[in-house]
A = this chain, B = another copy of it.
Amino acid sequence: MPHIKLFIPGPIEVSEKTLAAMAKPMIGHRSGDFKKLYAAIQPQLQALFYTKQPVFLSTSSSWGVMEGAINNVVGKKVLNCMNGAFSDKWLDVSRRCGKQADGLQAEWGKPVDPKALDAKLATGEYDAVTIIHNETSTGVMSNIEELAAVLRKYPNVISIVDTVSSFSVVPIKMDELGIDVLLTGSQKALALPPGLSLFACSERAFERAAQIQGRGYYFDFLEFKKNAEGSMTPSTPCISQIYALQSKVEEIFAEGLEARYARQAKTNQLVADWVVARGFEFFAEEGYRSKSLTCISNNKGLDMEAVNALLKKRYSAMINCGYGKIKGTTFRISNMGDETEATISELLTWLDDCIKG
């Protein structure tokens, strides 16, 4: 069986270089070698997060930290901004944690609305809010600068922002924007194997956590903080993924952050041009299209499962045929990670060929 190259929006393709970096022998997680590894990547991670705060490494997928954030900072009631499969689910997860929670629902395909957010927060009912910056299910990137401006009006509301599919695709300036909890995962925009999540917390988030009972242990933000002071994690970390992360951040800074953003904007534009040229439509509202993936309305009623099967057979590649309630009526192409103009252009010619049948 040949390897099928993934153009699905996560887990995405992981380079051979990253896989090789991951496959290094173990080290003790309380050893000097681990502490050195942990400390070595901190400055680069802080640069990627645009923060002076420590960046924590959680041995979990992102839902672990997304749930953990609820348990750490929600005292009164959380507002879950919802505009797609993942952000919608966060309301359910908040309630499963036993928290008071309301949803602020936007139509799928639309961004989180700053005015609606403002109106909700003005009620004074909430002490925390969750936002998914880039809804991977719909290909919508909300305007985090506008949303953050609203959030800054409410200093007692702790903001939790998930950036799993936008992190390192566009700059998200945590400290400058005043985001309290910024989190991402390994297997999407960072092009690493799944199993690792990264997050950082503002001082306000730590202060809030200190007041909250029932934070548990595994995702306790204050445990992460305490351990980070000694360049360690609370529990045994996924050392292999951290090796991979080290290799990846070296790569990111060798390319340069601005060059990385520009490359991804360019590959994203190639997909957008193809969508328009072929007479497809974007699922996301104009002005809010993700830069890391494209969610395309299947307005021609193609059998995209069949197209994808051909793509797999002929070219050993794979896109995604929609998620949640828009499965089948949309398809998605990821340009995250290591993709270049050459690889995305090639994919698009393959797609043309497979759509012909």
Contact = CB atoms under 8 A, between A and B. Distances in A.
Contacts of A13: 25-26
A318 B34 CA distance: 14
A20 interface: yes
A63 B8 CA distance: 32
A115 interface: no
Nearest to A238: B195
B28 A217 contact: no
Nearest to A34: B11
A77 interface: no
Contacts of A215: 96
A18 to B, nearest CB: 9
B25 A23 contact: no
A185 interface: yes
Contacts of A19: 23-25
A86 to B, nearest CB: 11
Interface in A331-357: none
Interface of A: 3-4, 6, 8, 10-14, 19-20, 22-29, 31, 33, 59-64, 67-68, 71, 92-93, 96-98, 185, 187, 193-196, 213-218, 220, 234-241, 318, 320
Given A26-B193, A60-B64, A60-B218, A185 B96 contact: no
Contact of A22 (B4, B33, B220, B240): B240
A169 to B, nearest CB: 18
18 contacts: A4-B27, A11-B27, A11-B29, A11-B239, A19-B25, A20-B23, A23-B23, A26-B187, A28-B318, A31-B318, A62-B236, A63-B236, A93-B217, A193-B238, A194-B240, A195-B238, A238-B241, A240-B240
Nearest to A92: B217
Contact of A214 (B4, B22, B29, B96): B96
B61 A237 contact: yes
Contacts of A12: 26
Given A14-B26, A97-B217, 11 more contacts: A4-B27, A28-B320, A29-B194, A59-B60, A63-B235, A71-B216, A92-B217, A187-B236, A193-B239, A194-B239, A195-B238
Contacts of A195: 59, 195-196, 237-241
Contacts of A96: 214-217, 220
B25 A22 contact: no
A30 to B, nearest CB: 9
Given A60-B218, A98-B214, A216-B97, A194 B25 contact: no
Nearest to A26: B11
B97 A194 contact: no
Contacts of A98: 213-214
A346 B31 CA distance: 23
A34 to B, nearest CB: 10
A92 B26 CA distance: 29
Contact of A218 (B63, B187, B213, B214): B63
A6 B23 contact: no
A194 B238 contact: yes
A100 to B, nearest CB: 13
B214 A97 contact: yes
